[in-house]
Structure 1
Amino acid sequence: MNLASWVERHGRRLRDRPALASGRDVHATWSELAARVAAVAGGLRADCGLEPGDRVAIVMDNRAEYLEAQYAAWHAGLVAVPVNARLHRDEVAFVLEHSGARVVVTDAAHAPDVSALEERLETVERVVVVPGPDWDGLLSAAPVALTDRGADDAAWLFYTSGTTGRPKGATLTHGNLLMASLSYYADIDPVAATDSVLHAAPLSHGSGLYGLPHVARGAVSVFPPPGPLGGATLLSLLARWPGMSFFAAPIMVKRLTADAALAGADLTGLRTIIYGGAPMYLADLEQALATFGPRLAQIYGQGETPMTITGLSKTDHADTDHPRWRQRMQGVGFPRTDVEVRVVDDADRALPPGEPGEVVVRGGVVMAGYWGQPEETAETLRGGWLHTGDVGSLDEDGFLTLHDRSKDLVISGGMNIYPREVEEALLTHPHVEAVAVVGRPDPEWGEAVVAFVVTDGTEPPTAELDRACLDRIARFKRPKDYHFVESLPTNNYGKVLKRELRDRLGGRPPEQR
């Protein structure tokens, strides 16, 4: 089962229907996309010398060519490595080196950094810039036949922050991604070739994953103009591409809700907004429902089980007469069709309803393992269950509520931020002796990064601390606030008590997950 067979099939069956759109304009029909994918696949195999199983990284902002490169990699039997384009150059370097990517497809905005990495990394043999002569060369290559792939063959290395502070490549197979797509139809929405999916969030994460079931059914993938998605733009695209769904972080939903252009607007063409990846205030959710109506669906998942653990359906959101509706809107819903979910104790024994413990999951959507990390794989998948690291509880109905974040992970604006990365950057400052980073509830971003800093007696300007971060990690990971303290609270083993630090910040508002 090769996922690229979807494109090949639609190239014959839906020849003249739009497959990719840039704004209101058609970028490629299905027959054109199928031809481009087969040609680029031929170029990757013949011109770049890649063999089935080799990795191709994609480092670019959302654009139609992104999907052309991704499906071309699969067509050629290669493994796609979509890289978060917002990462710092050194973070991108780690992903490229760890994955062993031999070819990187990038855009003009990221080409300088990626080209510099080509000289620095032994693994990277070629950088292809879109648009440009190298990309044109791949498009003009002789097409190749679809490469046979099995359900257990790797398709996507999804790099997600892990418990060590370094990203880990969750190996998602063709079978995993097929199961995730089928689960979408079962739990979120059926999809028709007359529908559309809007890629307003990064293709390297949720938007890319939720785009799969739409490609599978022949819907058109729509790319909005660069920049934040505004209400006027959304309405214009809805008028051109009806039956539209899109994935969004809660902050994006909140901003659209507050956009005056959408007040009282005709949203007939809007099908579904799938939100997730961060907490959402109940008040914000109620306002969103007032603006968009019963078109919201929430997902809870991880890169290791691509956005498929539990969900709150559109029906759940609309069921305001349920006696526990407000409580449920602060939870993460019921297990999805394709998985089993348990809450277990430290010995992996299932806990009774209401008892908090670690959330574990198993099913055909769970990753094959972490790329090149057998020990971490064995620990995370012990006993045949994916151990999420999240603390939650199931009620008598099987409804899951989360109580704590996975291993102190901070999620801000839908982006994962592992505190250790920020702490290591701050510790490079000569006057910083110790530091602990936690998340603080934030009404706009879900969480904001806050650093508690112990100095050597000289308190550095925050601008210098900002610079220490910006020189080493992505801008969105930089702390929004610094608290200078004499010492950090620790337990008897010297471990910093981050829960106590979060308590100093006031804890969570009562209506926040």
Structure 2
Amino acid sequence: MAVKTGFWAQAKNDPTRIALIDAAGQSMRFGELDERGNRLSNGLRSLGLQYRDGIAMLMHNDPAWIEIFLATHQAGLYLTPINYHLTGPEVAYIIENCEAKAFIAHERHAAAAIRAVEALNYDRSRCFAVGNIPGFRSYDAFLAEQPVTPPAERQAGTLMLYTSGTTGRPKGVRRPLMPGNPDVVASMAGMLGALFQLSAGDGVHLVTGPLYHAAPGGFGSASLHMGHTLVLMDKWDAEETLRLIEAHRITSTHMVPTMFHRLLALPDTVKQRYDVSSLRAVIHGAAPIGVEAKKALIEWWGPVIYEYYGATEGGGTIATSEDWLKKPGTVGRPWPGTEIRIFDDAGNTLPAGEPGNVYMKSMVGEFEYYKDPAKTRESHRDGLFTVGDIGYVDDDGWLFLCDRAKDLIISGGVNIYPAEIEKALMEHPKVADAAVFGIPNEEWGEEIKAVIQPADGIAPGPELAEELMAFASERLARFKLPRSIDFAVELPRLDTGKLYKRFLRDPYWEGRERKI
């Protein structure tokens, strides 16, 4: 049987095939998932939602997440998934900002959901609970009332994601809806799959991160459209990841560098216990990874590691394992249909090898920061956009990232990139995580501070700090060495791998103006 790209084609051609397996091991078939998506599409239409309207959801990696995604994507609606770690007021801000005309939440996040709708005085007849939330309508009962047939006049919808908000209020990234039948639009998943050498029909994709984030959600939905089975993780664990890879014969997954470091830190006896030979593509981005750590991963899993550079706003670049081994440290060259340029602060294009502001053109089209035209204008130049990263391209067109502009340390007039120092420190076996940032220095303007999360079983203290300084001094120039090292039980990272560095840095700058 020929395999067609697109979830709805898969559901029609092979309705009994397993579409997803949740964290409890319960499975759902393509046909069943299609029927529940149809019911929700019809239900949202019955509420009066029309083309280009939006809904919001507060949901962990639950099958309902996929149902809601499919329903909105064939009803011409915008879907905003909300980070389930946010507080009630933060959830309320996004619901109001995206103008959601319905809100669906899981009972696990009831406290934040209730506080949000109370703060907004939100119409409870448009609030639905997977499980039980006082005052919310039953999601399952609502679906049961709706016809199982596809909605009339099916039209393609899309996601309206919010940035992580590491430097302030999260911003909604909104794109025009693509005109046409959702089956046609879903075929674009094949383009994404081809980039990472995935074939339609027989894959199994492990979702390791939260679906509300652009990368886990994007690669997960693309895999589903290619006919792959999704295996959902609820809470990430290193050994459990290996167990799932072996048990389900996982062919693809998306991970972030902190996951790689924790996998590599497992005892050799644990690593050797599991068969990972089914893997065809392990995709990663979101944060930098050290050269030695990535080499070790490729040696363990084989040349199946794909690195990309992109953002919620779009992307990007890609580097295969073979590419990366030839150009260690690169995040790749542009995808087909994209472009990368390096500008200085005045908007001049910089030559190869010179660091500057990284701008890119996305293959998924133009976007705006919803209700923030000033921020939209600030992020665009010559038809390209930036998310504030600093990097350079070499003579062959390969992109190398230095750091975020906001994280740049200027000490004595010299630009210092914390990401380079963090990578060096992370190579030490006693380091589980590292954060480097600038703190005030009366003479130099800024000095380098490192905060280290020791590996399990390692005691923090002066002896460890001295050992790490000696380790770093063998790998970094003297002016890049931290002036001091502090320790933390755990660094404030998002599930997506991004570090809330401002929580560590801001106390040092209280009452002072930072120029970056």
- TM-score higher than 0.5: yes
Whole-Å Cα distance in 2 between the matches of residues 485 and 12 of structure 1? 59
| 3-state SS of 2:397 partner | coil
Whole-Å Cα distance in 2 between the matches of residues 408 and 391 of structure 1? 10
**In the alignment, which residue of structure 2 is the partner of 1:244?**
251
Give CA deviations for 1:138-182 in whole Å, capped at 9, x if unaligned.
3212235346576xx761111114697221111145559869734
**In the alignment, which residue of structure 2 is the partner of 1:277?**
286
Whole-Å Cα distance in 2 between the matches of residues 298 and 402 of structure 1? 12
Whole-Å Cα distance in 1 between the matches of residues 399 and 191 of structure 2? 18
Q: How many Å apart are 1:186 and its aligned residue? A: 3.2
CA spacing shift, 1:477–1:363, aligned 2, 3 Å: closer
Whole-Å Cα distance in 1 between the matches of residues 241 and 371 of structure 2? 41
Whole-Å Cα distance in 1 between the matches of residues 296 and 381 of structure 2? 42
Q: How many Å apart are 1:22 and its aligned residue? A: 1.8
Unaligned 5+ residue runs, structure 2?
Answer: 180-184, 410-417, 442-487, 493-497
Give the number of equivalent residue pairs.
430
Q: How many Å apart are 1:486 and its aligned residue? A: 9.3
Give CA deviations for 1:177-215 in whole Å, capped at 9, x if unaligned.
869734422321223221111111010111101112211
Give CA deviations for 1:104-127 in whole Å, capped at 9, x if unaligned.
222122112112211211456532
Q: How many Å apart are 1:383 and its aligned residue? A: 2.6
Q: How many Å apart are 1:29 and its aligned residue? A: 0.8
Whole-Å Cα distance in 1 between the matches of residues 227 and 217 of structure 2? 15
CA spacing shift, 1:34–1:405, aligned 2, 3 Å: same
Q: Is the 8 A contact 1:354 1:394 kept in 2?
A: yes
Whole-Å Cα distance in 1 between the matches of residues 67 and 232 of structure 2? 13
**In the alignment, which residue of structure 2 is the partner of 1:296?**
305
**In the alignment, which residue of structure 1 is the partner of 2:195?**
187
Residue type at the aligned position of 1:139 = L
**In the alignment, which residue of structure 2 is the partner of 1:502?**
none
1:168 and 2:176 are equivalent in the alignment? no
| 3-state SS of 1:20 partner | strand
Residue type at the aligned position of 1:285 = K
- Give matches, 1:42-121, under 5 Å: 42-46=42-46, 48-121=47-120
Whole-Å Cα distance in 2 between the matches of residues 21 and 275 of structure 1? 22
Q: How many Å apart are 1:15 and its aligned residue? A: 1.1
Whole-Å Cα distance in 1 between the matches of residues 434 and 159 of structure 2? 28
| 3-state SS of 1:56 partner | strand
Q: Is the 8 A contact 2:390 2:405 kept in 1?
A: yes
Unaligned 5+ residue runs, structure 1?
Answer: 323-327, 411-437, 455-465, 490-494, 499-513
Q: CA RMSD in A?
A: 3.5
Whole-Å Cα distance in 1 between the matches of residues 379 and 297 of structure 2? 36
CA spacing shift, 1:90–1:213, aligned 2, 3 Å: same
Q: How many Å apart are 1:241 and its aligned residue? A: 2.5
183-192 or 171-180: which moved more? Answer: 171-180
Residue type at the aligned position of 1:278 = A
**In the alignment, which residue of structure 1 is the partner of 2:462?**
none
Whole-Å Cα distance in 2 between the matches of residues 288 and 196 of structure 1? 21
**In the alignment, which residue of structure 2 is the partner of 1:419?**
none
CA spacing shift, 1:202–1:91, aligned 2, 3 Å: same
CA spacing shift, 1:24–1:136, aligned 2, 3 Å: closer
1:496 and 2:499 are equivalent in the alignment? no
1:145 and 2:163 are equivalent in the alignment? no
1:136 and 2:140 are equivalent in the alignment? yes
Residue type at the aligned position of 1:184 = L
Whole-Å Cα distance in 2 between the matches of residues 486 and 279 of structure 1? 25
Give CA deviations for 1:412-463 in whole Å, capped at 9, x if unaligned.
xxxxxxxxxxxxxxxxxxxxxxxxxx99836367653879699xxxxxxxxx
Residue type at the aligned position of 1:355 = E
CA spacing shift, 1:483–1:409, aligned 2, 3 Å: closer
Residue type at the aligned position of 1:143 = V
1:204 and 2:212 are equivalent in the alignment? yes
Q: Is the 8 A contact 1:300 1:309 kept in 2?
A: yes
Whole-Å Cα distance in 1 between the matches of residues 509 and 35 of structure 2? 64
TM-score normalised by length of structure 1: 0.74
**In the alignment, which residue of structure 2 is the partner of 1:377?**
376
Q: How many Å apart are 1:84 and its aligned residue? A: 1.4
CA spacing shift, 1:483–1:405, aligned 2, 3 Å: closer
CA spacing shift, 1:483–1:163, aligned 2, 3 Å: closer
CA spacing shift, 1:178–1:43, aligned 2, 3 Å: closer
1:156 and 2:159 are equivalent in the alignment? yes
Give CA deviations for 1:240-270 in whole Å, capped at 9, x if unaligned.
4324211111111111222332236321222
Q: Is the 8 A contact 1:163 1:407 kept in 2?
A: no
Residue type at the aligned position of 2:266 = D
| 3-state SS of 1:82 partner | strand
CA spacing shift, 1:8–1:282, aligned 2, 3 Å: same
Whole-Å Cα distance in 1 between the matches of residues 408 and 128 of structure 2? 34
Give CA deviations for 1:302-360 in whole Å, capped at 9, x if unaligned.
1111xx3112213324x4xx3xxxxx332311111230111123343322211222211
| 3-state SS of 1:170 partner | strand
| 3-state SS of 2:235 partner | coil
Give CA deviations for 1:392-427 in whole Å, capped at 9, x if unaligned.
1111100011122143499xxxxxxxxxxxxxxxxx
Residue type at the aligned position of 1:255 = R
Q: Is the 8 A contact 2:243 2:274 kept in 1?
A: no
Q: Is the 8 A contact 2:342 2:392 kept in 1?
A: yes
Q: Is the 8 A contact 2:336 2:363 kept in 1?
A: no
| 3-state SS of 2:388 partner | strand
**In the alignment, which residue of structure 1 is the partner of 2:435?**
448
CA spacing shift, 1:403–1:18, aligned 2, 3 Å: same
Whole-Å Cα distance in 2 between the matches of residues 330 and 366 of structure 1? 28
CA spacing shift, 1:281–1:89, aligned 2, 3 Å: farther
Q: Is the 8 A contact 1:249 1:277 kept in 2?
A: yes
| 3-state SS of 1:167 partner | coil
1:257 and 2:264 are equivalent in the alignment? yes
261-270 or 187-196: which moved more? Answer: 261-270
CA spacing shift, 1:480–1:496, aligned 2, 3 Å: closer
Q: How many Å apart are 1:90 and its aligned residue? A: 2.5
Report percent identity of matched pairs. Answer: 27
